[in-house]
Structure 1
């Protein structure tokens, strides 16, 4: 499920993005010479299901992923964790989870400006 909060096309440095997202509780799981991926874990207490909010950014300027590399963000998306290590991006996301995700992302977006 795509979460449209206005991230698409925003540009920032890797250093700034790392600082803001890591402070917000995200973890940078994947990175290479072309992109970085950050995840935030959300748990639905009612169903005991785990969801992951994912933010991806792609390199637009810079040779490698150093602090000065400029990244362009995509709209975040959310998926339900499948045991042992899969994610279902087509799963129904409870409104409490999507609202918590939007709140988290809006907080991050405010800091990116």
Structure 2
């Protein structure tokens, strides 16, 4: 599921600032990058349904190369996916529980507020 039109979408910021802020918000960077793209993940363990979901915030370099702390990245629309073992995360055609959607929206708002 794609969260379109958030305050985060399209925002440009130095990589080191983004890395710090998203880390403070509980997102993991975990080496998910190349010189042009980066991904930050937040894991939701749904104890009600025994499922795992990931809120993924992706960005790409508009100046410099990742992981240079002074490179500038631009955020894409955040996406939410459900993890299926052993296949990975699926984003399309999923029905997400309301409490996971609500938590995802709060996380996106939290990041946007911290980046202001």
Could you say which TM-score interval applies, normalised by the shorter chain? over 0.9
Give the alignment partner of residue 33 of structure 1, picking from 32, 35, 53: 35
Q: Does 1:94 align with 2:97?
A: yes
Give the alignment partner of residue 69 of structure 2, picking from 57, 67, 70: 67
Q: TM-score, normalised by structure 1?
A: 0.94
Give me the whole-angstrom Cα distance separating, in 2, the residues matched to 1:89 and 1:9: 20
Query: Where does structure 2 lack aligned partners over 5 or more consecutive residues?
Result: none
DSSP-derived class of the 1:84 partner = coil
* CA RMSD across the alignment: 1.2
The answer for the alignment partner of 1:108 in structure 2 is 111
* Runs ≥4 residues deviating over 3 A: none
Count the aligned residue pairs: 113
